[in-house]
Structures are given as structure tokens and as C-alpha cells.
A = this chain, B = another copy of it.
Amino acid sequence: MNEITYSPIGKVHSDYTSKDGMPIQSAFADGSKGTVEIKKEYTDALLGLDEFSHIYLIYHFHLMKSNKLVTKPFMRDLDLGVFAIRSPVRPNGIGLSVVRLEKIEDNILYINDVDIMDGTPLLDIKPYISRFDIRTDVKNGWIEGRTENKKKQVSDKRFE
């Protein structure tokens, strides 16, 4: 299996210019507005996207500097494999967020519930579709039953 090379389709702009104060998940980032600037040559690929209320952003954790396979998540003092947590520490630094899409103007997407660092290179956008993406009878592993609202808390562990 060979290496795979992607070229960013655009960039995320947000209020988070440092890791201090970032929400640890977009579900906790209610009201954090941002924009996605798509490269002009991909504008046509947005056709029809404005009819969706929520979208997946798939991006590159450009500030990650770690090759750890086991770490502690922000929400719990417990060693876990990086595939069992959502932090930027992972072999391929791919991030995934569901954000609310407010509107699209030309190549600019106006988004809400943003938990993404300013300047993050964007790799892909997909529509969030209830029938495909909402699963029931979910067992939430180590995070089950944890109810803290970590909105806007400092998440220092994100970029260890």
C-alpha cells in the first residue's frame, strides 16, 4: 500500500488562532462561527450543498506534532489508543467535524458550531445525511455517561 497525496481544497477560518479556549468538539462549539474558503477552481463542486443544514468537514491537523499511539483523552485520565479518541494525535492527522452550514456565497461557506483551528487546510466536504449518519443503539465506550460540558475549556492535550 503506497502513500496517498492530497491537495487541500481550501482553508478553514475561525476565531481559534491558538489552542487555548478551543472547544474540544463541534457539538460543544455552539455559536462559534467561522468560514470555509474553497479554492475558486472548486466552486462548481458546491452546487446543491446549500440545501443541507449540516456538513462534514474533513481536514488536516496541521499543528499536530506527535507520533504517539497511546495517550490520555481530554475528558478522562485513562490511557487509550489514538484510534479510540478524537484528538489530533494519530498516525494520519485527519480531522472530522460536523458543523452547521448557514449559507454559501460563491466560494465561501459560512459555518457555525466550529471547533477547528484558524488556517486549517481542508481536504473534503460531505453532506451530513440523517439516514446515513445517525445511528441508534450506540455504545459510547470510555465516553459513555460523561456529561461535562467542556465548551471553550482549554484543551491543551489536543496538540501534544
Contacts and interface: CB of A to CB of B under 8 A. Distances in A.
Interface of A: 1, 3-9, 11, 25-27, 42, 44-49, 51-54, 56, 58, 60, 69-70, 78-86, 90-92, 94, 96, 98, 121, 123-135, 137-144
A26 B132 contact: yes
Contacts of A128: 135, 138
Contact of A69 (B44, B52, B131, B140): B44
Majority secondary structure, A binding face? mixed
Tally of this chain's copies: 2
Given A91-B45, A94-B124, A11 B7 contact: no
B140 A131 contact: yes
B132 A49 contact: no
Task: Give 10 closest A-B pairs by Cβ, nearest first.
Answer: A47-B81, A51-B141, A53-B139, A48-B84, A49-B84, A48-B80, A52-B141, A83-B125, A6-B92, A45-B69
A84 B47 contact: yes
